[in-house]
Copies of this chain bind each other. A is one copy, B any other.
Amino acid sequence: MSGSPRSDDIRAAALDLFTRFGYEATTMADIGAAIGVRGPSLYKHVASKQELLVQITRRTMDELLAQHRAAVATTEDPAERLRRATETHVRYHARHRLEAFVGNRELRSLQEPFRAEVLARRAEYEACFRDLVSAGVAAGRFRVVSARLASYAILDLGMGVAVWFREDGEIGEDAVVWEYGELALRIVGADTTAPGVG
């Protein structure tokens, strides 16, 4: 039931509406109308409105973490790891901006224990960035006042992308990704020369 094509349609419609109007302001009737069906009919495919939000946010955090892990696994160099992590972060937020948007803003509407679960995942993700920064500092490659502040700054930039990025906008995905990768290195005061130098 949760993987049927129809329930995928429903999730997609819900994602769109949650993004535009918010979870609370979106009714099951709205979601139904978006796929040409009455509200109650949705219950043949999904268990509840809350389940839709849980699935959307859970999947988003899973993908983000998985892509992050894959990205940092490709190199040992601290600066390069931070760059690739940032690029992955930004690319995800540009490419899945609805998911990222809802995943960030509708956590309040998640009921326990889902809320705690997703928050834990998010804390884990944030810790990954903090560790990347700290590792660079420990290796003498980065120079920051606070690893926490630097990692928040990098993460916030990515979340901002989910808000303003448009597929057909004046700035392309690759341009944003590259620019923000550079920016992350500037935020941590890394010199961009070859590893081992400086």
Contacts and interface: CB of A to CB of B under 8 A. Distances in A.
A128 interface: no
Interface residues of A, number: 31
B157 A25 contact: no
A32 interface: no
Copies of this chain present: 2
A153 B164 CA distance: 10
A105 interface: yes
Interface in A1-55: 20-22, 24-25
Interface of A: 20-22, 24-25, 105, 108-109, 145-146, 148-149, 152-153, 155-157, 159-161, 163-164, 170-171, 175-176, 179-180, 183, 186-187
